[in-house]
Amino acid sequence: MKRYIAIDLLTAKQQGITLTEWALLENIHFMSNNATGYCYASKNTLAGAILVSERTVFNLIQKLTAKKFIVKNELNHLTVTDKWIAIANGNTAKFADTMQKLQTHPAKTAVEPMQNLHIKEDIKERKKRDARAIDFLLKNSPGEYESFLMQYKKTINNFKKFSDDFNDTVDQEELKYNTKVLMARLRKYARNWIANQTKFEVIKADTVKPNYLKNFSA
């Protein structure tokens, strides 16, 4: 979570970005600083970071996606686009220029309103976010992962739960983040998942006949 955010009010107005939207974009950008390049924080976490409701975060994500400031991957993890990065970098450059002027002409510039606030990152709170297995495969082996999806996805009933459980399994088994290792484990996990899924469906279908049908024979 970013506690200190620089907001260029003029740029925000020109781009049609509200202060809350700017804060959300900065936090998504900050939380994407991992091996996958995506932010996988929940809407609840994002809501807490910018002090709004989860519903507001949902609406903001929809709006910012439409404006092409953020994009989602297949698992609905978020990352900012180059369009936003260009705006954010421009903001940082303007701030650096303002600070240079302040140091050079303190008497003149100290009284001028500063639109840009210094970007401060709370180092104590900043933690390195480990990539999850599926995200790693999406980023490093998109072709192999796509082949896996074509072969298995249609036969897995709840693919979101499957993906989450697979990620947890990889973490529990402390598997090495290597394409060959993860793809082999993913295929085996999918085969076991489908087999167990089929068994459950058979058991569910094998219901006990009601009493009035027990003596009935076709």
Residues 93 and 113: their CA atoms lie apart, in Å, by: 17
Give percent of the chain above pLDDT 90. Answer: 23
Output the pTM of the full model: 0.43
CA 64, 68, 69, 75 dihedral sign is: positive
Q: What is the pLDDT of residue 36?
A: 81
Confirm if 57 and 159 have CB atoms less than 8 A apart. no
- The pLDDT assigned to 56 comes to 92
* pLDDT of 32 higher than 80: yes
| 214, part of any domain | no
Residue 184: its pLDDT value, please?
Answer: 93
Q: In CATH, what number is assigned to the domain containing residue 49? A: 1.10.10.10
The model's confidence at residue 215, banded by pLDDT at 50, 70 and 90, is low
- Residue 61 in contact with residue 20, Cβ under 8 Å? no
pLDDT by residue (tens digit) across 60-113? 999 999 989 999 888 889 999 888 888 877 754 444 455 455 555 554 444 444
Q: Domain range for residue 186? A: 133-205
In a domain, 56, yes or no: yes
Is residue 195 domain-shared with residue 161, that is, in the same domain? yes
**Main-chain phi, psi angles of 58, to 5 degrees:** -60, -45
Q: Does 160 have pLDDT greater than 60? A: yes
Number of domains the chain contains: 2
Domain ends where: 105, 129, 153?
129
Phi then psi for residue 213, to 5 deg, are -105, -10
Q: What is the pLDDT of residue 2?
A: 62
